[in-house]
Structure formats: structure tokens, C-alpha cells
Structure 1
């Protein structure tokens, strides 16, 4: 036979481009021991491509479709109808018909089949296009199956599918459709099984939706299905719904909705034994595909059949763990007030320089605090420290600790003698106190500036592999610098003092956030100084209307060169360059080293400068600093 039709045993995940997501997954499912998969075959994407090639005007319509946006609804509707009609009226080439007929004869020409779409952009780990294309159940007879195959091809261009692809940036001309033809399963019950709870994202809780009749009733949302939650062989929750409707097969082909008898409506769809059997099957399939799965199943007598399995794409990824223990990951980005994903180089730098392991998931970094929570002494300290920066994290950790079965206390031999803490960093490291000597800060700043100048000098002579080696060696010095006791002590002393003041003033006087007022306009606050300096830049530019007008419409990246042609342009350029010389290494989300810096893209500062010119009066920078000092002094004197 030719290459247009493949039986399930011939299909592997490597054939995704030929059989689509659904077809590839069904082929793999047939290889899992104890998993029953109804027999079938797949009409490949090569057949679909041939149909398009032999219908030239459809290809022209597809080119028009690629120029549209989601907002062009009327044009999408018109093109969708035209493309679908053309494909549905297509006559399948004779050689492809013969291949399909051969496979039908082998499985049973008179049997009923499910004809299902399988797109190359469907059931992928990064995006699920499930339900975007059509399915035709209980197809009987060769001619009906041929007709439904054409309908499946056409369903790639429904309005819903087109808009979904536009929203997910998939090229209409590069998404092809295969068609699965699978023996029909006339089930007493059917539904969907998620090997991770889709509501809570808990990977250890399996969720089952189940109802009577064919699974289409659950998938389409026709019924409120029963829901069962299972964890490690234990049914932890059941919700039995009133199931008033079911979808059933019709004798001569097709399906129908039918009312369920009142006495059966509130009957559980599955027994406890069947629920646990489904859990075992789900975990086996999940282990095979090595990721959480969304599985469609059918029950006939006492046998479960699996008719589809796809990755759950809505779960937030979690760091890979080398064990089956419970882990508690805290976001590094949230601690740094930057929650955007980072690029690999930015992630790598953090992992190289951090004082403890950092784990990656979804382009973000996390630390595993489960070992820290294992000791009562260290757990209380950790919750308190993290709670100072983010009360939501404190609440989340407290909730976890209230689950007595989640974190187990470490045995005595894992506790550092005399500290009550797990081996590793002690809470004492975070409780360093410094003597009351303001010169410590001056010394630390001076030391940092000296190290920076030395680094600038040494790095200039490096290039190529030598430069990479230099950076890798220098990051060890950076690690030491970040944990330098005096520097770390200054940070923690300031944090502890602010927290103590806020807590005690609230306790004693009922005043909130007193420390925030007392610390206003404190010297050496680089973030505050940076904002005030940008107000000074606005003061330089404000008197020159031509410069302001130019900045309002500027789009080119090299705008600084063009400034000098305007009255006041040289002064404006000098002010911006002076600012960049001191703060040009900064930018939004700057903890990611790959982020474009202001010195690399100065135009990013223009909206900020214009906003200051519009909304602030001259001299606002110095006035705001003085005002902050006065408010802090006033608050200090009031005590």
C-alpha cells in the first residue's frame, strides 16, 4: 500500500508532522502494557496536502487568510465558509480511497467508527488545540466515512479554529490536518481523567470527570459530570452531580441526546474500585509520556478503553526533582519584584552566583525551602523573614505547614548541634547585628567602587574564551562578596530595624509603616536618587520647546545625535548622557542580565522625561528630597 494511511502500530511520536498530535499519541498509547486502545488508522497530512494542491483556489484563499487579524471577524467568516465548502465538496483521490478501504476491510467494513481530526498543532506540550477541529462519532459505511474525512479536513478552517491560530501565532499555511479513524466504543460511561488537578495544579492529585453514555457529553460540557479526586490510591473527594442528559449512539449511525431516567441521575457513574483502576491507568500513561496527561476514557462492561491522551498545557511548570519527596519552591523573581520570565543567560548567571541552588521553571528561578521548613526553629525564622518582604508568601507557607503530612521534621542527626537548625545556613547568619557606626556604610561603598574600578581595568584586556574564563573566575569573587559578613550584616540590620520599628509602633501606638516615613530621603538610596536625578534632567530640557516637541515624536534609536540641531539640544543631550553615565546600567527587570539597558536604548527614558516635564514643576527633585527629610525629621521628633 501507499504512504497516505498508517495503522496505529506503525505510528510513533516522531511522526507528529505526518499524523498530527492525536494520531501520534494514539500510536504511542498502543505500546503501553495494560492500556486498551480501540483499533484504528490515520490518514496522513500528506493526503491533506494533496487535496490542497489539487484545489489551487483554496491555496489562494489561505494566503488571504494569513493577512488577517483577530479583529477582522467579517472577512474571517466569509473566507472560512468558502474554504470549508470547497474542501467538503472535494472527491478523495482514488488511490487514497483504496488505501482507506483496505484498512476498513482489515478492521471490519461494517463496523462503526469514530472519525476524528488530528492537527499538527494539536495536543502539543506548549499549546492544546483540543476541540478546535471536528469529530464524527458512529460513522457507518465507507461513503459516510469518506464524507466525514472531508468534513474533518474542512474543520481546520472553522472561524473558531482560525481565530485560535491567530491568537497563538500559528501560520494557517503551515498547520496541516491528519484524520484518525478508530473503531467506535459504545460505552456505558465515559469521561476525562487529569493526572494533575486542573484546579489546584497539584501533581499528586488525580481528577476524574465521569458521566453515562458517550464521552462527548462530558467533553462538550453537556452535563455536569461526577468528579472524583484521588491521591496515592486513596479517594479523597467525590462530587456526584445530577446527570440529566447523555449522548448515545444511534443504530444506523450518528448520535443523539437522551434524557437519563430520574432514578439514575444521582447515581455515581463509577464504583470506588473503578475509580482506583482509572487512577492506576492514568499514572501508567503519565509515566510513559513523562508529563501530566489529559486522558479521554470509555467504560464498556468492566473494561476501560483509552481513546486519547494529551499533555495538560494549562499547568504552570515546576522545577525538575530527582526524587519523589515534597518540595516547596519560592520565587526568586517575586523577592526581587520582577516576575517576568528570564532568558537562559540571565538564569545561568543567577545560578552561577547564588549562595544556594536555584531551580528553573517557566523561565523563572526558584529556591527549594522544604529542607528549611523541616526544623521548627528554622521554619519559624524562614516564614518570618519571607513574610517581611511578601505577606502572601508567608500566608502560603503557613498554609503548607498546617498540612501536617506535607513537611516532615528532620531527625536529630540532621540538626546542627546547638542551633536547632538543619545542617547548612543557620538563622544566625540572617541576624547579624552591627555596631552603631555610620562609617561602615561609607567603607562598604568605597570598597565596592574600588572593586568595580579594578574589574573595569582587568576586563578590558580580555576577549574570546579568555573573557569567558575571566567572568567564570570573577563570579566566585562575586559569590564571596555577596555573602561578605559586614555587607550582609548591614543589609540584615537595616531590614531587622525597619521591621522592628513597624511592628512596635503598630503594637504601642497603632501607627502603620512608621519606618517607611523615617527612612524617607535617606542618603545612598540609589533607587530614590535615580528617580530624583531624572527630574533634574527634565528641568534642563523643559525651557526648550523645540527639544520637547522633537522628543514627543521621536522614534529613531539614535535620537541623541539629532538633538544638537535644536535650540537647547546640546544641553539636553549632555544632561541625558550624564544621567546615562551614572545610571545607564539600569532598566526595568534589571535582575535579568539580558535585559536591554538604558545606555543601550536611551529612547526608553524619553517617556519618563516627558512625563516629568508635563506633571512636575521646576526644582521638583530637590523639593521632594527636602520634603522627605522634613517628614522623617518631624516623625522622629514626635517620638
Structure 2
């Protein structure tokens, strides 16, 4: 290939598959130009040209190696190395053959825009918008060559380097191309989002426009005119005029100038026809990419509309598969405390469990693998269709009330949809729901189970333990079992012994316990706020608190034996697997994992390792426990004190009741409330027992597929769904499928904002709601566990390997049972998710830890080390200083 064609390509010669050669921006422009869209002509200086220049820059390769070895949060080191990279690249002269090719490509274009086009830019998952440099109205060969050289150096700006580090992009793999494009000396220009970036709504174009070059809008130096257009109808839904006091214009001979004007707040810079034309252009671009786009556009003095740049909008949440009409979806996995994505096989397991729920309600599915029709997935997370709930009087009455105590903010979002005409009531009577509920109650003998629980709570607990043991045995298959049989058996247990087995026993028992608590509340006069909840402190029969205390007792035995665990958790895990921990620690951990090794952080995802496979988290918690040296703060002492306080409260409330019969009724009700309320944790515990047992079978199938060469490693099986696993067993190679799924999973792991409720048009209704009211400087959430504590915040996004000093206030996005060992040393708890009866809130109350849950953006607004006060009675968090 001639040097000039290797180093410079015309837009007409570029297609979307040339990302490694031309970078994201040029690949997009080439695709748009080939599609016949109005793209100003231009050329791309390829990554081969950059590579020639980089290879000639002495020491650059070594600097890149140092950057790769630097931690993403070590900003001083990252910026120092970025500065050195820029210096050496700018100091190296342009290779002569590259300079000649650039000069030839520029010839005949006069004024141009010179823009960076990185190979990690304008991608579906990371736009890198504004991370590299742009030079406008560049005139003359010398100026163009200098701008290209500076664009190359901008690959190593501080902002670009830190952005790549934060997004897990390999510095050594990134190359830079440069776009040289004929300059549009625009009369008016701006940006267009083909979906609303604030609400997420698709087919709603959002346009910002201002006189002059679009850089004034992109850079935020002007208050632009703002338009919102319904692209389906062309109706302009909103028009807000900016002052437009600043514009950027090209200067004759090259360069730009900032012009200050009196501004014009009374007249839009675009006519209605032009607004619609820009929206139509956006719809054409979106159709070319089959996805929402962030577009830069310009209108020249003759009135011609030009498309100067387009990139995917990377912040929008993906949509579930399309169904008729507007639908509302609740993120089930987020409601369960999981922000991270679920592996594909984990999602397949959720579909099997949804079939179990359908069976529980007497509606078995013809295809259990496909799951219930109400289930949906998007962004590797599980959703459930709420549309029927919102259109039903029984659904509106019951479901938001459940979420008031489970995940309060989600309940607020649900109620905000009641007045939307798309979710208007389609049924007026609650009788069909009552009849269905009665049918379920009779078929599964729920009243009888409730009565039995009230009569003998401990028998219920034994029955539930026996169910879990039976599920384990059903999935304890011998070594010679065929892979197909393993799949069949796992499917049978997940569907037919999932919720169908445990819920008819556990749910009536737990509901009977809370019913007894409510009954006592009606029989006792003059209850103080929160007084009745004190009865639920230090509950027995809670499998999660039993686990936490068992781990604490192990720490005590290790300390009592004089053993120390001085290494990091990863090293200790290696010693455990090798059998070389100190004797008490080795045996004690083995016993703990024999009882609780099926659990894990993010344990509802079958695709993640269990503690029995990877005990690092458990060992990290034991290391944390070694730092607690105040006997009065010992978790078992705190738990015992909470239980005593509960018993004292029962005695007080019983004595307050009037009349002997009523006192006996109150005593019985509160005793049963304590004995049964803790069983609310058991269904999830059982669910995780079954998942862990099924995981062992799927891992065995994965080992067989890896041995046959259909996948690389046994763990790759967790990135396939069930039909794909069976296809692999039949001989199909699944390497490409696994690679694509792992890439998607890695992208979704970087996503921090997950919608509680998502509409099928992309709208995230929570974004349209006001934040909870709070005094200036305070954050507000749902009160979850009474008490006030002041201490340093500790923001933890992942509990594995987390360091939490005794007395620190844990700030977390959400929690599941894998987090709760940290509660034993925490001074308080703040969570972004949850309600008064969510898992984290219940455990916090049992341990007597002040807690506030459902605090939007707590992990970003609160910072580690900052002194804060958490008031678990009012739901307020205040920051000191």
C-alpha cells in the first residue's frame, strides 16, 4: 500500500469497521458520509501515522508502561506521567512521509477543523467526548501540520489519561487518528441529542442552538436556545430561549474569536422549520446506527444544514425488548440490593425461578426456560413488567405499600405514574384479585401453615431447614452423571422446588409474626413512636444474623488461641486452600464454610463464586474483627443486649395492657412476633442454597465443555444461557458468544446509575421527581433504625476486601447478606437503596445500629473520612463542618 494511502484516507473510503485505523470519530463520519448524509468533506490521518510519530518519540513506550501500572485513583502520578508523554511526543519531529501525506490530503480545503479521533472514542459504552483536542478554522499547510501534531499529544492530556484509567481502557492499546474536515462557517450551530439525556425518553430530540460556531454550545460558554421535539409527530414540545450573549466565529486567515453581543432573549436563533429539520436529521442518523446519538450540526449562511459529528449517547440505560404500548418495568435485581449486572446464566436462573412463581400461583408455564411473560431484561439486569399492577386497583393498593417498607423510593416512583393516561385503571373491581388470592391460600393451605407456626415456631424452623437440606441432596449428583442430566436436574429443582416449596411454609409464618406484632399494637395503649419495633431487636431464627454471629465467634476463638491473621485476605485465602492457616483458624473457617459457604456477596447471581470457592471476603471480615478491642462493643454482647431490651419492652407493654386476658394476649402476640419475624430472611436463604447447589452442576458442565474445546474455561459457562449450553453440548463452538457476553458484562460493571423504574420509551421517571426535602446541607432518606451516631463516613461500593474501622459509618449503594458481617463493627449505616423493612434495615435494627436508607446518590455526595451524623429516627444525615 502506498504511504499516502496508509497515512491519509478520504471519508468516502472509510467504513464503520475501520475503527483501529481511523478512530471512533472518523469511523462515524465515514459511515455517515457513505450513507448520503450532509457531512462536510474531509480526510482522516490514520493511526498508522500516529504510530510512526510515537515510535520516533524517545521514551514514550516506557511512560505508557508506567501509566499501565499506576492505580486509577492515583491522580498525581497519572497527571505527572501524562505531562511527560505530551512533552516527548511534541518534541519529536513529524516523520517526513507523514507530513507529505497530510499536506496532500489537506490540499484544496482552505479553512478546516482539525479534530482528534481516538480508537477508544465515540464507542457504544464510552464516548470520551471532549477528552482530546479540537482546532477550528485552521488555515494553511503549516498550521494544519501543527494542529495534527498537537492532536496527537492530546491523547495524553490529564483528562484523557484519567478518563481511560477510570473506565478500564488500556493506555497501551489506544491510538489516535486525526480528522481534517472542511470548516462550516456557520450562521447558527449546536448540538442535538436524539433521545432526552435527562429523562432517558427515546424519540424526543433535545436541541441546543446559538449563533456562530457550535463550539460555544459544546464548551458551555453561552446560554443557548433550547428546544424539545417529539420526533414521531414533529411537534415542538418545549422552547426556552437563552441570552446568546457570546458567540464564537472564524477569523479571516485562521483562528477564531469570541464575540460578546447585547444578546437576544426575545427571538429564537432557529425557525420552527429549522428546528424540525435538525430533528429529522437526527432521526436519520439514529436510524443509521440503530441507537440514540449525540450530534453536532451547523447551518451555513446560505441556510444549508450540515452534520459535523455524531457519537452514541452512552449514558442512556438499555431498553427491554419491545412490547406493544408504553410499559413500566421495575428493576428486580436493584430492589434486591444489586447494582452490578447479573451473568447470563444468572439471568437464565431468574427466568426459571419466575416459572416457579407462576407454578406457585397455579399457572405453570409451557416453557419454564423462557420464564414468565412479565419478566424482562436490559443491561444484564432483571426487570418485571409493572404495567398490569399500575392498571389494577388491587395492584395500586398493595404493591406500593409493600415497597414503602422494602424500597421506599421505588414506591414513590410507582405512585408518580398513577396519573399518566397510559397507566389508567383498566379494571375497577378487586374481586378477581381476591378470588385468585383465596385460591392460592386454599391450594397451599396457607391459613393452616400460619396456625401451625403460631402453635410451634421451632417446628416451622426445623421444617424449613429440612427443605434446604433436601434441595442440596437433590442436586448432589455423582461424578459420572452426564452433562444433560445435570442440566435437567438443576432445571427441575429450580422450577419445581423453588418458591413453590418454601413460600407456602415461610411466608405464612413470617406474616403471622408481623400480624401478631400489629395485633399487640392495637391492644396496648399509649404506644410511643418506635416502641413496638424495639420488640424486633436481637431476633432469634434469623439465618443472616446467626451467620454474622457465627463468624464473630470464630474470630473470638482465633483470638483466644493466640493466633493472628496478619496477611491480606488474598494471601490468607491461598493459605486456607493449602491447609496452612493456623490450626484453629483453619478448622474454624472450614466449619463456617461447611455451614455458610453457599453464600456470597451478590449471591442472587448464580454466576458468581460462593464463599466456599473464594473465602477472601470472609477472611477480610475476620481481619476487620481483629481491630475491635472494646468488650462492650463486641457484636455478641450488643446482640444479647438488644435481645434483653426487646424482652424488657415486652414486659413493659404486657404490663400496660388492661385486664388479665388482654395482658396474656399481648404477651403471646409479642412472643410469637419475636419467634416468627426472623423467618422473613429464610426464603432468600433457601433461594441461595438452591442456587449454590445448581452452580456446582453448571460448573461441572462447564468443565466438560472446556475439555471439549467449545469454551475456553469452565467459568465461561456462566456467560451462556441454557439453550446455548445445550447447543454447546451438541457440538456448537461458543467462544465468540462468550467473548461478546464478557465484554458486555465488563461494560455494565462500570455503570453506576441503574433505574429503579424504567419505561419502555426510555424514560426514567425518578429523574423527573424532586429530591426528598431536607434542611440545607443535609441528605434525607427513610428512617430505618432509630438512634443517632456521629463518626467518620466510609464509602464502600464492594464489600470484598473492604476496610471498615470500628465505629465508622458504612455508606453503601445497597446491601445483601454478604455485606452484613461488616455491620457488626459499623457505627451506623446509610444506603442509597432500601426501605424500612428491607434487608439492611432489618439487620441494622437487630444490631441496634442507627440507619437511614433510600438516600439518593449517598455514595457520591458523602466522602470517606468526612464526619457525619446519622439520625435513624428522622432519616437525616448531616455533614460536620
TM-score range, shorter chain: 0.7 to 0.9
Show CA shifts across 1:430-456 (max 9, x none).
996554222472574265145235415
Tell me the residue number matched to 1:90: 94
The equivalent residue for 1:234 is 235
Task: Within 5 Å, give how 1:202-221 maps onto structure 2.
Answer: 202-221=201-220
Contact 1:83 1:157 in 2 (8 A): no
SS of alignment partner, residue 268 of structure 2: coil
Question: Kindly tell me: are residues 179 and 40 of structure 1, through their superposed partners in 2, closer, same or farther at Cα, counting changes over 3 Å?
Answer: same
Distance 1:168 1:120 in 2: 14
Q: Cα–Cα, structure 1 residues 463 and 275, in superposed 2: closer, same or farther, change >3 Å? A: same
Q: 1:467 aligns with which of 479, 486, 491?
A: 486
State the structure with more CA Rg.
1
The corresponding residue for 1:452 is 471
2:53 to 51, 55, 58: 51
Retained in 1: the 8 A contact 2:318–2:379? Answer: yes
1:367 positional shift: 1.1
Show the counterpart of 1:223.
222
Quote the residue 1:614 is aligned against: 629
d(CA) in 1 for partners of 2:196 and 2:242? 19
Aligned mates of 1:606, 1:616 — CA distance in 2: 21
Q: Which runs of 5+ in 1 are unaligned?
A: none
- Does residue 279 (structure 1) correspond to residue 284 (structure 2)? The answer is no
Residue 253 of structure 1 aligns with which residue?
A: 254
* 1:424-573 equivalences in 2 (<5 Å): 433-434=447-448, 435-438=450-453, 439=456, 441-442=460-461, 444-445=463-464, 447-449=466-468, 451-452=470-471, 454-458=473-477, 462-479=481-498, 481=500, 485-490=504-509, 509=526, 511-513=528-530, 516-544=533-561, 546-548=562-564, 550=566, 555-560=571-576, 570-573=583-586
Q: In the superposition, relative to structure 1, how do residues 241 and 604 fare at CA in structure 2: closer, same or farther (>3 Å)?
A: same
Displacement, 1:114? 1.4
* TM-score, length of structure 2 as denominator length: 0.63
Cα shift at 1:257: 0.9
For 1:512 and 1:28, the matched residues in 2 are separated by 65
Give CA deviations for 1:214-248 in whole Å, capped at 9, x if unaligned.
00111112112222222343323222121111000
Contact in 1 for aligned 2:394/2:430 (Cα 8 Å) = no
Q: Deviations over 1:380-403 (max 9, x none)?
A: 32222233312211101111223x
Structure with the bigger RCO (C-alpha within 8 Å, sep 6+) is 2
What is the CA distance between 1:537 and its match in structure 2?
A: 2.4
* 1:284 counterpart SS class: helix
Distance change in 2, residues 1:561/1:383 (3 Å): closer
Aligned residues: 618
* Alpha carbons of structure 1 residues 541 and 620: separation in structure 2 relative to 1, 3 Å: farther
User: CA contact under 8 A between 2:195 and 2:205: conserved in structure 1?
Assistant: yes
Deviation at 1:146, TM superposition (A): 2.7
Structure 2: how far apart are the matches of 1:502 and 1:310? Answer: 61
Tell me, yes or no, if the aligned pair for 1:80 and 1:159 is still in contact at 8 Å: no
Q: Which residue of structure 2 aligns with residue 42 of structure 1?
A: 44
Are residues 1:291 and 2:291 paired?
A: yes
- Partners of 2:222 and 2:438 in 1: CA distance: 54
Which residue number in structure 2 is paired with residue 376 of structure 1? 393
1:447–1:74 distance in 2 versus 1, CA, 3 Å: closer
Corresponding residue for residue 595 of structure 2: 582
Unaligned runs of 5+ residues in structure 2 are 358-371, 658-881
Per the TM alignment, residue 477 of structure 1 is displaced from its structure 2 partner at its CA by 1.6
Q: Take 1:29 and 1:561, find their aligned partners in 2: how far apart are those partners? A: 56
Equivalence map 1:191-210=2 (5 Å): 191-210=190-209
Does residue 23 of the first structure (1) align with residue 50 of the second (2)? no
- Asked whether the 8 Å contact 1:19–1:45 carries over to 2, the reply is yes
CA distance in 2, matches of 1:583, 1:238: 59
Q: Distance in 2 between matches of 1:459 and 1:628?
A: 49
Gap change, CA 1:553 and 1:419, over 3 Å in 2: closer
Match of 2:381 among 336, 354, 364: 364
Q: What SS is found at the alignment partner of 2:114?
A: strand
State whether residues 210 and 227 of structure 1, in contact with CA within 8 Å, keep that contact through their aligned partners in structure 2.
yes
Any idea what SS the aligned residue of 2:283 has? helix
Deviation at 1:198, TM superposition (A): 2.0
Q: Could you say what secondary structure the match of 2:143 adopts?
A: helix
Q: Which moved more, 1:597-606 or 1:184-193?
A: 597-606
Post-superposition offset of 1:137: 1.6
Counterpart contact for 2:593–2:612, Cα < 8 Å: yes
Q: CA separation in 2, counterparts of 1:332 and 1:495?
A: 24
Deviation at 1:513, TM superposition (A): 4.7
| Partner Cα separation in structure 2 for residue 313 and residue 98 of structure 1 | 37
How far off its partner does 1:308 sit? Answer: 0.7
Question: Measured at CA, do residues 294 and 548 of structure 1 come closer, stay the same or move farther in structure 2, by a change above 3 Å?
Answer: same
Q: Give yes or no for contact 1:520–1:629 (8 Å, CA) kept in 2.
A: yes
Q: Is the Cα–Cα contact under 8 Å of residues 197 and 203 in structure 1 kept in the other structure?
A: yes
Aligned to 1:80: 85
Per-residue deviation at 1:193? 0.8
Name the CA shift for 1:312/1:620 in 2 (closer, same or farther; >3 Å): same
| Partners of 1:456 and 1:539 in 2: CA distance | 34
Deviation by residue 1:166-221 (Cα, 9 ceiling, x = unmatched): 33333333211111111111111111111222223333432211111000111112
Contact 1:505 1:514 survives alignment (8 Å): no
**247-256 vs 349-358, which deviates more?**
349-358
2: CA distance, partners of 1:253 / 1:554: 59
Map of 1:350 onto structure 2: 350
The answer to whether the 8 A contact 1:342-1:363 is kept is yes
The Cα of 1:277 is off from its aligned counterpart by: 2.3
2: distance between equivalents of 1:255 and 1:272? 29
